[in-house]
Amino acid sequence: MKGPAYEYWYEYIVKVEDKKENLQKYEQEIDENTALEEVRKKRLKCLFLQSDPNREQELEENLVSNYQLTKSRMDLLNLITFYKAKRNWGKMSECADKLVDVHKDSYGMLYQIQALLELQENQKALEIADELEDKKIWGTELEVSWDKMYIYQQMGEYDKAIAAGERVLAGKATEDIILKLSNLCALNGEEGKALQILLSSELRGVLTVPICQWISVYYLNNDNIQAWKYAEKAIELSNRQPGILLWAIDIANRTGNSDFTGQYLQEVMSGEKANLVQAKSVEEVLELLMERKKEAEEHVQSPV
């Protein structure tokens, strides 16, 4: 077998084969194939090495060797992917610099920014983000705006972070950006705007359980009817998950809807809904409820 299909065949084997002895057999087959060029053999070998967490050092050595042999953009990208997965931000940054400086690949600036952010070099990351933004390269706009939102937040420049986040939201509305942008507005003392961003999710078609929960919490201070309305929406969107039901019990008690407490508690404690072990004592019931309360609290966390 020759050509790209050869690589695809071994890539398929690595994905579907779960027996170590068979993987070793196929890897040995590659090692003994004298017709294969050295770099092609090394690339194929990397497919097998990356499936074995105990051979990370060998994988890194092969990836480095491949790039030294070829000086190709593809092999450099493989190295960047490896270092990113291993959270080796220093090495990733070095490789990203080569991608930009040696291979003249402006998309590599996205990798530079990510590595620098992880290294907490915010000012340098911002300078590269500004430079990439000025290039107006198709397909990079939203990611650059997202990065700038994060950078400005880290710097405490919330007005600029919000402006960048609004560009992301205008480009693509998702639960993630709605929650993050809303939280930024709240941090900036703009709670009314934070709520409006959350409410806009319904018109944008991205109303989710966490968004409903945050809307409900915002309304608790001044509109119990709306707070309960969105608590009920969260319940339905979650398919009545036990953790959400327990959270809703708290909202019910705060909004004058305590009549629902018994009903929701019964659902939480039923074996079908919560998969709980049958309790034999009051103490066991209380222990189970404490566990569910912790689970419920994890459903509403700061989105940034």
Three-class secondary structure assignment of the chain: CCCHHHHHHHHHHHHHCCCHHHHHHHHHHHHCCCCCCHHHHHHHHHHHHCCCHHHHHHHHHHHHHHHHHHCCHHHHHHHHHHHHHCCCHHHHHHHHHHHHHCCCCCCHHHHHHHHHHHCCCHHHHHHHHHHHHHHCCCCCHHHHHHHHHHHHHHHCCHHHHHHHHHHHHHHCCCHHHHHHHHHHHHHCCCHHHHHHHHHHHHHHCCCCHHHHHHHHHHHCCCCHHHHHHHHHHHHHHCCCCHHHHHHHHHHHHHCCCCHHHHHHHHHHHCHHHHCCCCCCCHHHHHHHHHHHHHHHHCCCCCCC
How many C-beta atoms surround the C-beta of residue 22 within 10 A?
Answer: 11
Mean pLDDT, range 107-134, rounded to an integer: 97
Assigned token pair, 60: 């890194």
- Is 90 exceeded by the pLDDT of residue 152? yes
Structure tokens at 183: 């939280």
Give the mean pLDDT of 4-30.
68
The answer to whether 214 touches 198, Cβ cutoff 8 Å, is yes
Say which range, 124-128, 145-149, 245-249, has the weakest mean pLDDT: 245-249
Count CB-CB contacts under 10 A for residue 5. 8
Q: Which residue has the tokens 């220093």?
A: 90
Quickly state the pLDDT bin for 282 (edges 50, 70, 90). very low
Separation between Cα atoms, residue 98 and residue 80, nearest integer Å: 10
pLDDT at residue 72, rounded to an integer: 96
Distance CA 155, CA 43 (A): 42
What is the predicted pLDDT for the residue at 276?
Answer: 43
What does the mean pLDDT of the chain come to? 86
Q: Is 238's pLDDT higher than 70? A: yes
Distance CA 298, CA 67 (A): 44
Whether the predicted pLDDT of 280 surpasses 50:
no
Look at 85-99, 237-251, 262-276 and tell me which has the smallest mean pLDDT: 262-276
- pLDDT tens digit sequence for 57-73: 999 999 999 999 999 99
Longest dimension (CA), the chain: 78
Checking if the pLDDT of 281 tops 50, the result is no
Q: What is the pLDDT confidence band of residue 15, given thresholds at 50, 70 and 90? A: low
Asked if pLDDT for residue 194 goes beyond 70, the answer is yes
Q: Is the pLDDT of residue 133 over 50?
A: yes
Contact 27, 19 (CB under 8 A): no
Q: Is the pLDDT of residue 227 over 90?
A: yes
* Token pair in block for residue 37: 């060029």
pLDDT > 60? residue 288: no
Q: Residue 40 burial (CB < 10 Å; 0-12/13-18/19+)? A: middle
Section 28-53 average pLDDT:
79
Alpha carbon distance 108, 106 (integer Å) = 5
